[in-house]
Structure 1
């Protein structure tokens, strides 16, 4: 099996019939096990007003770091559009002071992308031009047509959420400027707009690894390359544009923080003892994904035993996400992950997977760790 590291992306999902307290306890349990099995990183996503308990990544990162000893812990990704460079630097500087050398700061453009989506929906700019109209299989990797997320990002729920995640009248600063400010604050070279030197305490000289995340060949990928930062490409969110994002990052790369490019590629994966059992576990993944794609926010993860399947029309909205989910026996999933690694040239893979029962999610990662040959993973 490929020697590239495996890491975990966790949303602290809330299952149908459960609550946030239970979901957070499950996150801490999985993080401890992931460390023992040999996963390289444990990253937390940031989502708001949805049935996931990862709305405050810095707080949750601190809890996970406290519950573990060696695994790197971080964000994938902090939504810069709803906060400030100073607040992010101080929060992650505090985390580094408490857990030195273990903190990753992933940054994303979610808040900025919503403004772009509103412009698209209002007709101020045209929708993204699809580069692929049919699903393609390339070297064993499924590449579906692009999904236009403009109307989802401009949905009433996300519009209302954006209104309460920022101060009244606030405007998201330019993403590249915010990233530059964070890097300057970490280096101790930051000057305010008035030319006043400010030092973040904690924050200045923190041993925090900064990442940028992107779903396309746009601003995030190009900025990560220009700054020489590591980059995360979201195959599990936007499988159609992952190759474009990776190519744009590598084309733009100039030695900076890193001497050469470093790419982590994410994938949604659920592993069970057999392909049939895995298919049972992910039977309601289309329902969960549909709740997101329809602009209503992630619902509590549905129970496969009681949830009816989507209609044909509903399924069409999420087809690209379903066919790019890796679900199956250990060898099935490991083979698909390795094909994704080979096609993208990923230096590391980031796996996210949700099941209704926590025990099934734990077992999924355990089986994958053993099949991938991670140190600390027992033969399953």
Structure 2
């Protein structure tokens, strides 16, 4: 059976605010725990009106503190925005508070625009080019103390928080293979290099003590409802958001509309672009979602699927993940 997890960007929906978004994140996590999802990951983004997950470690603690057993982590922390020691202390503290439940997914993109990235990194001398060295440094801080080690993460040292590498290109796949780490591909918004990245990761994988075999997670969008038609309506919120991304327009998650009305919003080029970005999606009633997810598993050989589900209505979002949990037992 393919493991299923939840990827949450803590979306701020039209007509709501960040506070409500954060309360809903914890509510969804509690339900996801009860429905048997394996992990609940939160993704770092900055200076975006439509998401409330900028302080990722704080939000991980919020969710972990309000749940009991589900693994909680970052999907991911954008390492170039932070000193490795700071991340080791944050996630080492989380692992000390919630032992055996914390994951640390790392990305190398800024998770924001260039001006905001410069504001985040104004006291840092490194950038994305130092990502491999930063990952190794972070591993050392979370590992056992070494003789003569001058700089230590306290808490953090000895916690051995599981590190995952995340990416939407070939770079992190190669690095994850070289370091013997699990790898998650962000195909929920950038699917172009999915299969090539997985092939590189598996073919060049070097076994490690914690991960003797490659372990691949594939991110997908899932919008499930009682009927295909209802799901198609809910999915228009994501389509509108991705259309806005193509136009360089950010904002709260739009309300859903009649799918036919999308034709008046986008031109053929924009429609094709949105469809390409959202190709790794499963939308429909339970039977349709199961078929689509099974096809993705068959194509990718994924060990795990992690599902993003930005739906305007919190009630509909909860129901979507509840249906997904039922579908997951058949994968």
Q: TM-score range by the shorter chain?
A: over 0.9
Paired residues in the alignment total 323
Q: Secondary structure at the match of 2:221?
A: strand
1:24·1:53 contact (CA, 8 Å) conserved in 2? yes
1:189·1:197 contact (CA, 8 Å) conserved in 2? no
1:31 corresponding residue in structure 2: 29
1:68-126 CA-to-partner distances (Å, cap 9, x unmatched) read 00000000110011111101100000000100010000000113xx9xxxxxxxxxxxx
- Displacement of 1:162: 1.1
1:180-212 CA-to-partner distances (Å, cap 9, x unmatched) read 001111114579xxx862221011011411100
2:280·2:296 contact (CA, 8 Å) conserved in 1? no
Once residues 328 and 90 of structure 1 are traced to their aligned partners in structure 2, the CA distance between those partners, rounded to angstroms, is: 42
Change (3 A) 1:168 1:205: closer
1:203 corresponding residue in structure 2: 156
Which sections of structure 1, spanning at least 5 residues, go unmatched?
115-156, 375-380
Once residues 93 and 355 of structure 1 are traced to their aligned partners in structure 2, the CA distance between those partners, rounded to angstroms, is: 33
Give the ranges of 4+ consecutive aligned residues of structure 1 lying more than 4 Å apart after TM superposition: 305-308
Matches within 5 A, 1:231-380: 231-256=183-208, 257-297=210-250, 299-305=251-257, 309=262, 310-312=265-267, 313-373=269-329
1:147 corresponding residue in structure 2: none
Which sections of structure 2, spanning at least 5 residues, go unmatched?
none
- Displacement of 1:242: 0.6
Once residues 347 and 300 of structure 1 are traced to their aligned partners in structure 2, the CA distance between those partners, rounded to angstroms, is: 33
Once residues 369 and 169 of structure 1 are traced to their aligned partners in structure 2, the CA distance between those partners, rounded to angstroms, is: 42
Once residues 371 and 199 of structure 1 are traced to their aligned partners in structure 2, the CA distance between those partners, rounded to angstroms, is: 44
Once residues 184 and 39 of structure 2 are traced to their aligned partners in structure 1, the CA distance between those partners, rounded to angstroms, is: 13
- Displacement of 1:169: 7.0
1:284-330 CA-to-partner distances (Å, cap 9, x unmatched) read 32210122233344x20111249963221433432312444211001
1:5 corresponding residue in structure 2: 3
1:188·1:199 contact (CA, 8 Å) conserved in 2? no
TM-score by length of 1: 0.81
Indicate the RMSD between aligned Cα atoms, in angstroms.
2.0
Once residues 11 and 245 of structure 2 are traced to their aligned partners in structure 1, the CA distance between those partners, rounded to angstroms, is: 13
- Displacement of 1:282: 1.0
Change (3 A) 1:168 1:258: closer
- Displacement of 1:233: 1.3
2:237·2:257 contact (CA, 8 Å) conserved in 1? no
Q: 2:87 matched to 1:88?
A: yes
1:139 corresponding residue in structure 2: none
2:107·2:167 contact (CA, 8 Å) conserved in 1? yes
